[in-house]
Structure 1
Amino acid sequence: MIVVTPEISLDDAELLESFIRASGPGGQNVNKVSSAVQLRFDVRGSPNLPDPVAVRLMRLAGSRMTRDGVLVLTADRFRTQERNRADARERLVGLIAKAAVAPIKRRPTKPSAGAKARRVEGKVARGSVKSTRGRVRSDD
């Protein structure tokens, strides 16, 4: 069981991990060992994920989401399989935790009368500074 928030926890059976060869430096070892992890999580089919959180997660995932509603995370930052597995799971938990926070709805407000007056006074003052600029005339 992976605990994301007090209300949301994921079952290990919902995660599908496959191990692939990592790209990048590593010498001869990089061609022999499958140390990168590809983690798949079915967002649409998960019974432990509330619908609003799933919708926000799908929007947040972007190109990491497939058409079938499966989130695919690839972790290959580390040289060991265990650390890449932990990294992929941490990133998944972070994404779900971010999606679990409901956005605060903005309440539209209007500027006060004093704020409007201060704005106009500033504009008038700036305009008077600009109006005093110009060519210097000689009064010969």
Structure 2
Amino acid sequence: MSGPLLIRGSVSVPEAELLWRFSRSSGPGGQHVNTTDSQVELRFDLANTDCLPPVWKERALAALASRLVGGFVSVRASEHRSQWRNRETASARLASLLAEATAPPPKARRTTRIPRGINERRLQHKKRRADTKRGRSGKDWA
């Protein structure tokens, strides 16, 4: 994975600010698994970066507060046997995580009134249904 990590629009994280770490993946894989460092951990110093706009940085710090360890946000990938594919997966995960964390909050929902006709139709249907069920009782059968 070379080049900057595109987050959204024209905002990207330069490759120099990404810290990669490789280790051996757990799980089955035969003899080759003991010699290959295919698990990838990608770390990004969110607290000290200057590549994000200040507003985005504040949003990301607030949204990812529970995931931050010393100001760093980290992502792991070990699904694939190839280190290269795990690198691609980790960078895509970090990009989507940062894009979601820096997104503006959704517009507030305006409360609306239920139209009178809808409420009346609901009550009429409810009354008809109750009458139908009441008519099924066998009290008046002699």
Query: TM bucket by the smaller chain?
Result: 0.7 to 0.9
Which amino acid is the alignment partner of residue 7 of structure 2? V
Structure 2 match to 1:42: 45
Gaps of 5+ in 2: none
Deviates more, 1:11-20 or 1:46-55: 46-55
* Contact 1:21/1:35 (8 A) holds in 2: yes
Choose which of 68, 73, 76 in structure 2 pairs with 1:74: 76
Choose which of 92, 115, 118 in structure 1 pairs with 2:118: 115
Q: Does 1:94 align with 2:100?
A: no
Which amino acid is the alignment partner of residue 6 of structure 2? V
The alignment of Structure 1 onto Structure 2 pairs a total of residues equal to 135
RMSD between superposed Cα atoms in Å: 2.1
Which amino acid is the alignment partner of residue 78 of structure 2? D
Gaps of 5+ in 1: none
* Alpha-carbon distance between aligned partners in 2 of 1:27 and 1:67, rounded to the nearest angstrom: 34
TM-score by length of 1: 0.82
* Contact 1:58/1:69 (8 A) holds in 2: no
* Alpha-carbon distance between aligned partners in 1 of 2:84 and 2:37, rounded to the nearest angstrom: 11
TM-score by length of 2: 0.81
Q: Does 1:105 align with 2:108?
A: yes
Between the aligned residues of both structures, percent identity stands at 35
SS at match of 1:4: strand
SS at match of 2:26: coil
Choose which of 15, 19, 27 in structure 1 pairs with 2:18: 15
* Contact 1:4/1:10 (8 A) holds in 2: yes
**How far did 1:127 drift?**
1.2
